[in-house]
């Protein structure tokens, strides 16, 4: 998958490769961390690759969060709560234990930021708190993986 995304990014004109990274980082499960890696492997300067990956992931996240908040606002007032699935119960337990900040920071090890954000909104978390902590998480994870990819590329050269 990473090779395909890298090929897509590399196939773009050099002045638009950052835009390719923005687009692929907006895909759930790619997020900022793999987006930064793809950008670095495609030959973008690490700062540009990381910034583009973070921007794409944040844009995607905002779309998901605002949509989830809108849906939750409409649904919460009109329907009783439905039964929780085992996976959702596990996520809820993690949310109750670590809060918005904790789930945002450790969530990418389990699920993409878009899905964890929607889940936290559905649990009643503040939209603004979710956005703030998810952006912090996206920056941290994207930077960490971008740096690791840069170090890996420099070892190969």
Query: Domain range spanning residue 134?
Result: 2-156
Enter the tokens of residue 66: 């605002």
Enter the tokens of residue 129: 């708190």
pTM: 0.84
Number of domains in the chain: 1
Residue 84's pLDDT is 76
Q: Mean of the pLDDT values across residues 117-133? A: 91
pLDDT at 147 over 70: yes
Do 35 and 25 form a contact (C-beta atoms < 8 A)?
yes
Residue 157's pLDDT is 64
Tens of pLDDT, residue by residue over 48-105, are 999 999 999 999 999 999 998 888 878 766 666 667 788 778 878 888 899 999 999 9
Do 145 and 36 form a contact (C-beta atoms < 8 A)?
yes
Residue 95's pLDDT is 84
């Amino acid at each position: 998958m990473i090779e395909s995304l890298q090929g897509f990014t590399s196939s773009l004109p050099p002045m638009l490769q950052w835009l390719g990274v923005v687009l692929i980082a907006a895909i759930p499960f790619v997020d900022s961390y793999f987006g930064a890696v793809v950008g670095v492997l495609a030959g973008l300067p690490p700062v540009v690759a990381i910034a583009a990956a973070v921007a794409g992931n944040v844009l995607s996240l905002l779309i998901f969060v605002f949509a989830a908040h809108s849906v939750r606002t409409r649904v919460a007032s009109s329907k009783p709560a439905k039964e929780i699935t085992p996976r959702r119960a596990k996520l809820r337990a993690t949310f109750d234990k670590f809060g918005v900040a904790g789930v945002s920071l450790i969530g990418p090890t389990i699920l993409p930021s878009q899905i964890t954000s929607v889940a936290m909104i559905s649990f009643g978390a503040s939209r603004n708190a979710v956005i703030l902590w998810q952006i912090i998480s996206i920056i941290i994870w994207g930077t960490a993986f971008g740096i690791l990819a840069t170090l890996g590329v420099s070892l190969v050269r």
